[in-house]
Structure 1
Amino acid sequence: MRVFGKRRWRRASAAGLVTVAAAALLPASTGAAAAAETRVPARYAQQRLSWHTCDGAPSLECATMTVPRDWHRPANGPDLSVSVSRHRAAGPAARRGVLMMAAGGPGGRGLLRPAALAEDSPAVAAAYDIVSFNQRGLPLSTPLRCQTRAEFDAFFGDDARDRSPAAVRATVERSRRLAGACQERSGGLAPYITTDQTVRDMDLFRALLGVRKVAYYGPSYATMIGAYYATDFPHRVDRLVLDSPVGFDGTWQTFLEGQPRSFQRRFERDFLPWLAARDATYHYGRTAAAAKATWEARRRALRDHPADLGNGRRVTPNRLDFGTGQALYDASGGFAPLATALAALDHWDTATPAERGTVQTVFGDYLSPEFLAEYTAVTCNDTPWSRDLDDWVRRTAGYTARYPLVGARALAFSAVCATWPASRAPRVHVTGKGLPTTLMLASRHDPATHYEGALRAHRALRGSRLVTVAGGDHGQYRNGNRCVDELVNRYLLTGAAPAGDVGCPAPEPADG
C-alpha cells in the first residue's frame, strides 16, 4: 500500500437464478462462512469468458467478466466489468490448480502481474494457472472517476507541513471536494468500491474458471483482500500467502494512524544510516543525524526555490517527501536512486542529463488520479472513520511534528474519509476459521504495512505462520531473498508450512 504514503457451472432453474452445486454460491452476509447462501443470477453465472492475448503481455490471456454493481442486491443498478487475466501452467501434466493474485494499494492494478510471477518463479508457473484482475473501479475494468489530472495535481499542494490556518482550511476544502466529486462523477459507483464487493467478484471468477478451490498470493492491501476472501469463502481456499499484511483485524483508520511512525522509522533507522555510510559518494553527512539535517535543509530550500523538471513539473517540499517515501519500500532498488537524486538537487544547475533523469524518476510523479480514486473509495467505504474534523486537525498536527515524512499529509487523506458519505459495507471479522495453515510474511521496519499491524493480523488469523524478515522492505516474496522464496515456493508447491513462526535475514541493499 503506497500511501501515507505487484469454465463450467451446472445449470439449474428456469427462473433465471443458478445454484451450482456448492461451487458457485455466494454468502449472503459477510464474515460468516456458515451464513445462508444466496444464488447467483444466471446472467453472471452462465457467462463464458472470451480469452485473447493481453495487450503488452503476450504470455497472458485476458478477458472481461460481468459482475453486479452490488452483490447484495444484484438486481439493482447497472452491471460492471472486471478485466481478468491468466497465465496457463507451463507443465499441464503436473498442473495442481489455480493461483489467484490481487494487487495492493488500494489502487494497484493486478491484470498483468501473473507474467512477472511466472517469470520469477518458474516452478510455481509450471504447477499453477496464475490468474489476476484489475479490481472494480480501476482502468480496464469499470473505472471510478473522481478528479481531473489538474485537480489531482492540486490536491496535495506544495508543502503539507504548512499548518497556518489558511493552509489547513485549504487542505480540508480540497479533501471535501475530492469526497464530493467521487460521489457526483461516478454515476453511483463510489459506494460499491469495497473489499467486500471485490472478494465476491473474485469468487465468481473462480467459478467461471471451473475450479472448486484456489491458492492465493497477495501483497500489501491484497492481504486484506485475501483475508476477507478466506473469511467469506474458507471452503474455496487451498493455500493462502499474505505478504506484508495490513492490519486487517481492525479498521482502516486504526491501521493508517500507524503509518506516519513506520515511515519515519524506516527513514531514520535504515535509509539515513545507509546514506551516512556513503558520504564519500553522496556528501550528505557522515552520521545519520548529519544526513537528516542536510535533507531537511534541502527541503527548506525547495520551499522557496523548487527544482524545475520541465513540462510543468517541479520538485517541491511535498514532492521531496513523496519520492523519499516511495524509495523506502525497497532498499536494493530505491536507496541508491534516491541518494543520487538528492545529490543532484544540491547542484541542480549543473546536473548531468543522467542525474536529471534520475530526479525525474524519483520525484517527478506520485500516484495518479485513478489510484487515488480507488484508494479513497476503499479506505473510506470499508470501515468507519471519525468525522470530527477539528480532532483530525489537532491529531495530524502532532503527526507533522513527530513523524513529518508522511505525517504532514495525513490531514489530506483523513479529511476525505471524514467527509465521505456513510458506507453500508458490511464489516468482516477475520478469524482463520475453516482455513488451512496460512503463510504470512512481514519485515520489521516495513514503512507502509507496519510490523505492529502485521503482528495483530497474525494473531487474528488463527493457525497462521509468520515469517519475520529483518530490515524494512515492503513485499518479501520475489524480492531477492532466498530464505523467503524457498519457504513460499515449498508451501505453494507441497503445502508444507513451517511448524511455527520463523525468521529470515534481510536481502542486501545495493551500494549504488
Structure 2
Amino acid sequence: MGKWNLSEPVLTPARAATARTLSFAVGGSQAVRCLTDKQRADAAGTAFDPAVPGGKPLPRLLTDTAVFTDGCVRHRSKEFLASLSTDNVARDIDQVRSALGEDKITYYGLSYGTVVGPMYATLFPHRVRQLVLDAPVDTDLWFGDSLTFLNDVAVASERTLNAWFKTCRAEGTAVCPFGARPAGGVRHTDRHAGSEAAEDGTRQGRPPGR
C-alpha cells in the first residue's frame, strides 16, 4: 500500500484529474423518526448539564432511551430497523463501486466514516486500494461505554470550538464575523435555535416516521 502525505489536501488537483471521486454520506438518507414532534421539541428545550455525562442524570437518560426505543418499535417495522447497520452501509458502498465499474476504491473516512471504512475492508478486502481514517472512532468505547464516549466527544468538541473562537477574536471581524461576539452568546443562540426548529416541526404537525 502506498504512502499518503498527510500534510497535503486529500483531493489535490492532480488526484481530481486522474480519479473518479464520489462523496458518500448518510446525511441525505431518510431519517428514522421514533418520537412525535412534541417529544422532539421537549427534548430540544431541555437544559443539559455539561458537568454530567450525557447531560442528564442517569435515571432520566434511561427513561428517555426507553421512550425512544418504544417509539421506534411502534412507528417502524422490525425488518426496517434490522436493516440499519454499518455492514449494510458498507454493502451500499460496494454497490456504488460496482455500478461505476471500478475494481477497487480509495477510501477516505471521517467521523462515522471511520467506522464504515474498516467494515468495508473487512467485508470486501480485495476491493480496497487505499484506506485513510481521519480521527478514528473508538468503537469499543462507543458500544461498551457510550456515556463516556459521548462525554469525550462533547469535551473535545467544546475545546475545538473554543480554539476556533480564540482564533476568530485574534484575527478580528475583518476575517471572522464572530470575532467580536462573546463565545457564550453563540452557545445561547444555538440552543435557542434548536428549540425553535423543534417547535416549528411541531407546528407543522409531522407524525413520527416522516
Partner of 1:155: 43
* Residue 340 of structure 1 pairs with residue 160 of structure 2: no
Indicate how the Cα distance of structure 1 residues 274 and 209 shifts in structure 2: closer, same or farther if over 3 A, else same: closer
Shift of 1:264: 3.0
- The one of 67, 77, 99 equivalent to 1:177 is 67
CA contact (8 A) 1:206 1:214 kept: yes
User: Quick check: which one's strand share is greater?
Assistant: 1
Distance 1:151 1:338 in 2: 36
- Could you report, residue by residue, the CA deviation over 1:88-123 in whole angstroms, capped at 9, with x for unpaired residues? xxxxxxxxxxxxxxxxxxxxxxxxxxxxx99x7433
TM alignment of 1:87-236, pairs within 5 A: 121-135=12-26, 138-139=29-30, 143-161=31-49, 169-188=59-78, 189-236=80-127
Partner of 1:247: 138
Partner of 2:202: none
SS where residue 216 of structure 1 aligns?
A: strand
**Counterpart code for 1:186:** R
TM alignment of 1:311-330, pairs within 5 A: none
Distance 2:128 2:96 in 1: 14
Partner of 1:364: 193
SS where residue 178 of structure 2 aligns?
A: helix
**Counterpart code for 2:114:** T
Q: Give TM-score scaled by structure 2 length.
A: 0.63
**Counterpart code for 1:365:** G
Distance 1:235 1:195 in 2: 19
**Counterpart code for 1:177:** V
**Counterpart code for 2:115:** M
Q: Tell me, which stretches of 5 or more residues in structure 1 are unaligned?
A: 1-116, 282-331, 346-354, 370-512
Shift of 1:172: 3.1
Partner of 1:21: none
CA contact (8 A) 2:165 2:179 kept: no
Structure having greater relative contact order (Cα 8 Å, sep ≥ 6): 2
* Residue 238 of structure 1 pairs with residue 104 of structure 2: no
Partner of 2:207: none
Shift of 1:224: 0.9
CA contact (8 A) 1:213 1:235 kept: yes
SS where residue 194 of structure 2 aligns?
A: coil
SS where residue 131 of structure 1 aligns?
A: coil
Indicate how the Cα distance of structure 1 residues 270 and 234 shifts in structure 2: closer, same or farther if over 3 A, else same: same
Distance 1:201 1:159 in 2: 38
Query: RMSD of aligned C-alpha atoms?
Result: 4.4
Indicate how the Cα distance of structure 1 residues 255 and 231 shifts in structure 2: closer, same or farther if over 3 A, else same: farther
CA contact (8 A) 2:114 2:133 kept: yes
Indicate how the Cα distance of structure 1 residues 132 and 148 shifts in structure 2: closer, same or farther if over 3 A, else same: farther
CA contact (8 A) 1:226 1:240 kept: yes
Count of residue pairs brought into register by the alignment: 180
Q: Give TM-score scaled by structure 1 length.
A: 0.29
User: Quick check: which one's helix share is greater?
Assistant: 2
Q: Tell me, which stretches of 5 or more residues in structure 2 are unaligned?
A: 1-8, 199-210
% identical aligned pairs? 25
